[in-house]
Amino acid sequence: MDYLRLPGTELEVSRLILGCEPLGGTDWGDFRPQEVEQAVCRAWDLGINGFDVADVYGLGEAETRLARCLGSRRREAVIITKFGVGWQAGAGLARALTFRDASPAHLRAALEGSLRRLKLDCLPLYLVHWPDPRVPVEETIAALQDCQRQGKIRYFGVSNYSGAELRRAAAAGTLAAVQGSFSLLDRRAEAEALPACRQHGLAYLAYGPLAQGLLSGKYGPCAQFPVTDRRAGSPAFRAARDRAAPVLSRLQAVADQIGRTPAQVALRWVLDHPGVACAIAGARTPAQAESNAQATGWTLEADRWEWLGGPPAWSRP
């Protein structure tokens, strides 16, 4: 497993981070708790020490399950959790109503909830899940700094911020990391977020490197998903699937040439991007965790990397 120290911190994290949203038990179809929990344990055994979760995943259930899976190892792990999405669950609702809330009051309540569910006294890395247009980012950052001074979080950062929002947040306080979507099918970060991270010396943690499974090559244009799977009714997923064929063809060609799977090549492409510190990939089974881990410990040759995605805003060294 490859590791790096997040700039300006003492956190040494695996370059492949396990995405723990599946632990919440919602949005991804059939849920087998035992298999998903075994995937967490297998990831740890493979050297993955970074675990990305959020309070809203399963309305707290993902954090609770992650703490149970890791046991005492949770104090050694780099657990990244997020706040900034509130929810309202109640009788008659098919699912909880969610809304953005990055206010200081919500932050304090959310932090206490995450600490309790994760059974920790201090969170290694706490992120604002989404920007909240109703709350000045300076207020949110000031509240995070207060929590840091109180010893309840070691470092903080932001997620899903635009380049302009990111620069404003970085001016308000010392960010440890930035999280955002990035894959061969979603390269929007190259236009704003990655240049902003470069400017401020921030680590970019890329989620969605497999584009919700599209880049694994498992889902063709006629693939069907149950209604309990968010991909079933997602216009963004359908649009990505419609334009995926050329990328999947190149992925398969490279995978065949080097004896890897398309998913491993897609993950490696993200990890080899000069603007990316870590890639966040979920796993619903131990086998998936093992396969994803095989995307580490090697690199794509420069010509293959460029052929897969074309040159980005700056060249790969």
**Catalytic site positions:** 57
8-state DSSP, 211: T
**251 token code pair:** 């992925």
The number of residues in the chain equals: 317
Q: What are the residues whose beta carbons fall under 8 Å from the beta carbon of 109, sequence distance 6 or more?
A: none
Sign of torsion, CA 235 238 242 246? positive
Q: What are the residues whose beta carbons fall under 8 Å from the beta carbon of 227, sequence distance 6 or more?
A: 233
How many Å separate Cα 25 from the centre of its chain? 17
Q: In whole angstroms, give the CA distance from residue 200 to residue 212.
A: 29
Q: In whole angstroms, give the CA distance from residue 174 to residue 154.
A: 12
8-state DSSP, 29: S
Question: Residue 121 to residues 35, 149, 171, 314: CA-CA distances in angstroms?
Answer: 28, 13, 28, 41
Q: Which value, to the nearest 10 degrees, does the dihedral of the CA atoms of residues 281, 284, 285, 290 take?
A: 0
